Amino acid sequence: MSTNLQKNYQTDLTDEQWAILQPLIILPDVGRPKTTDLRQVMNAIFYQLKTGCQWRLLPHDFPPEGTVRRYFHYFKRTKPFENINEALRRQVRVREGRNEEPSLAIIDSQSVKAANTAGERGYDAGKKINGIKRHFWLMFWAC
């Protein structure tokens, strides 16, 4: 006996998560009307990212893999997840009674030995080492 009920996966968005995320996902209002459930697309993307399965091996209760993959690549190009992360970070800071924007940032770098084939090389006089620089951005959230 077959049913049309969707299986729940650990990676599925809860109603509360979807209520926060949905207004932050902006799609262009061009072309044919969208008939695919965007929440199910997001669930499929999260499932694929978490499990590492191939697109064609997505469970059949998600939208078609081609549709999910097209949305994923659209999101990679338009970078909405950076905007979502920024908006959620601001919401959390305000909820905690802090300023929306961090007030302190630290930039650090590290010199590491590298092969002759490495890209940009230099000499770090402090460490007396030839190599490349790796840069780290550390952000501290001050109240």
Per-residue confidence (pLDDT) for residue 121, from 0 to 100: 59
Per-residue confidence (pLDDT) for residue 124, from 0 to 100: 60
Report pTM: 0.64
Question: Both 77 and 42 in a single domain?
Answer: yes
Question: Both 48 and 72 in a single domain?
Answer: yes
In a domain, 72, yes or no: yes
Number of domains present in the structure of the chain? 2
Phi and psi dihedrals of 110, rounded to 5? -140, 135
Question: Both 79 and 108 in a single domain?
Answer: no
Per-residue confidence (pLDDT) for residue 78, from 0 to 100: 87
DSSP string, the chain: ----PPPP-TTSPPHHHHHHHGGG------SSPP-S-HHHHHHHHHHHHHH---GGGS-TTSSPHHHHHHHHHHHHHH-HHHHHHHHHHHHHHHHTT--SS-SEEEEEEEEE---TTSSS-EEETTTTEEEEEEEEEEEE---
Which amino acid is located at 108 in the chain?
Answer: D
Per-residue confidence (pLDDT) for residue 12, from 0 to 100: 95
pLDDT tens string for the chain (143 positions)? 444 556 789 999 999 999 988 988 888 888 888 899 999 999 999 999 999 999 999 999 999 999 999 999 999 888 888 888 888 899 899 999 998 888 777 666 655 555 555 555 565 666 666 665 555 554 444 44
In a domain, 1, yes or no: no
Per-residue confidence (pLDDT) for residue 67, from 0 to 100: 95
Question: Both 114 and 51 in a single domain?
Answer: no
Per-residue confidence (pLDDT) for residue 20, from 0 to 100: 87
Write down the residue that tokens 């905690």 correspond to.
96
Question: Both 79 and 127 in a single domain?
Answer: no
Identify which of 117, 115, 109 has the alpha carbon closest to the alpha carbon of residue 136: 109
The residue range of the domain holding 119 is: 104-140
Per-residue confidence (pLDDT) for residue 141, from 0 to 100: 47
